[in-house]
Amino acid sequence: MGKTKKKAHPKKRTAAFKEKESNELVEAPHSFVIHRGLSCPYITDLTLDFRKIMEPFTALQLKEKKINRIKDFVAMSGFFHVSHMGIFNKATSQLSFKIVRMPRGPTLTFKVHQFTLARDVLSTSKRQFVDDDMFKHSPLVIMNNFTGDGKHLKLMASTFQNMFPAINLAQVNIATIRRCVLFSYTPETNLIEMRHYSVQVVPVGLTRGVKKLVMGKIPNLSKCEDIADFIMQDGGASESEMEDDEQSQVVLPQTLKRKGNLEDNKSAVRLFEIGPRLTMQLMKIEEGLLTGEVLYHDHVVKTEEEKETLRKMIEKKRKLKEYRKKVQEENRKRNLRAKEEVSGKRKKHKSEAAAIGDETKEDSDPENDAEYYKEEVGEDPDEELFKAESNSRKRASLPASLKFKNKKLKKAQEKKK
């Protein structure tokens, strides 16, 4: 039998794990994506699709229960380096989406007008480019038309960007950019369109035959007498020249792993939508974590006096909450002290009772009683007086089996007489 290895202590394991984590991984924005409110299978699927967008710095297999509250996720956010939390809330009349900056806010609340699941988007496309390897790296964030007037637009744009890791253009590896997320704002309708694409880079200036050979595909030469016939069967036309425009063509600064995409050569960038889709509208921005002063509201516009009264109410509630916590803490400490005093008194009473019992045993000794009688009366007591008491005590102290034998002996003596 081999020796079993001892498991490391949980605290030691977490400390060793944190040491192995790189600074880049720790500082990257992590996220929780959950759903609240009424149960709906489509909202559950939408939550899972949004987690795929936020990969790899998100809890993909996060389990939710009805007993879990928002404060439970907030309490665990510090341990897992969570910086943002997305909450889909299903009500009877509408669906809302909240983005919370952990752990103190602000909170952005959106009204979801339309959404399309990833499986529905993929079912409508002819060519599906979905690979599990593309989710190993975070997507590229593209912001469109967030340059209007208003601080809420700047805050919304910075929130969307900070949900994903920043890209260092000087050190980035282009091969890791396999996905992109587009946020487009329409000022006329105040709607935000969110789209999710996979990025494909294709070499430009190659015929279909050459491209198949370069990509490593095995061509079908059954109808060709020579390899030249296969290459020239399309008349030397380039597929990229026919389908791609010049705006989608770029000069690669790096050589990609995919064959044909060489450094300083032209390649075409193609986007294939992989879903999900979201059409939403910003409703309000709160200062704190789901509570606090409303910094922006789409429907309600309040005066400075109304804002000041709301600030005073919020401050009053905060002070009242702190006071209640303080009172509860004092009551808890007082109850603990009272319990300790009661337990100490019980121990003291038990020790005193044990001491009194020992004294009574000593006082009930017949020799001590005879000496006390002699001191008080001045005469020696009768021997039978204290002997009878001692005999009765001895009899009382005899076990039941000996008493039973003594009774039998007495009956036998009486019969002999």
Residues 37 and 148 occupy one common structural domain: yes
Does residue 185 fall inside a structural domain? Answer: no
Does residue 120 fall inside a structural domain? Answer: yes
d(CA 334, CA 37): 40
Residues 30 and 125 occupy one common structural domain: yes
Alpha-carbon distance values, 277 to 321, 327, 402 (Å): 41, 50, 95
Does residue 201 fall inside a structural domain? Answer: no
Residues 116 and 31 occupy one common structural domain: yes
Neighbouring-strand partners of residue 87 = 34, 98
Contact 141, 53 (CB under 8 A): no
Does residue 200 fall inside a structural domain? Answer: no
Residues 282 and 412 occupy one common structural domain: no
Choice among 75-84, 274-283, 382-391 with the minimum mean pLDDT: 382-391
Residues 132 and 55 occupy one common structural domain: yes
Q: Is residue 405 helix, strand or coil?
A: helix
Residues 293 and 386 occupy one common structural domain: no
Helices and strands counted in the chain (H then E): 13, 11
Residues 42 and 164 occupy one common structural domain: yes
Structural domain boundaries enclosing 51:
19-173+277-301
pLDDT tens, position by position, 260-316:
777 777 888 888 999 899 999 999 999 888 888 888 888 877 777 877 888 888 888
Burial class for 16, CB neighbours closer than 10 Å (0-12, 13-18, 19+): exposed
Does residue 39 fall inside a structural domain? Answer: yes
Residues 294 and 371 occupy one common structural domain: no
pLDDT tier, 238 (very low <50, low <70, confident <90, very high otherwise): very low
Tokens linked to 344: 């100490």
pLDDT tens, position by position, 34-69:
999 888 889 999 999 999 999 999 999 998 888 888
Q: How do beta strands 179-186 and 140-144 pair?
A: parallel
pLDDT tens, position by position, 89-108:
999 889 999 999 998 889 99
Compare 233 and 192 and report the one with higher pLDDT.
192
Contact 246, 268 (CB under 8 A): no
Does residue 41 fall inside a structural domain? Answer: yes
Does residue 289 fall inside a structural domain? Answer: yes
Torsion of CA 218, 219, 222, 225, to 10 degrees: -120
Contact 62, 87 (CB under 8 A): no
Report DSSP letters for 52-67, one per residue: HHTTTSB-TT----TT
Residues 296 and 369 occupy one common structural domain: no
Domain count, the chain: 2
Does residue 68 fall inside a structural domain? Answer: yes
d(CA 311, CA 302): 12
d(CA 195, CA 51): 14
List the CATH number of the domain containing 167: 3.40.50
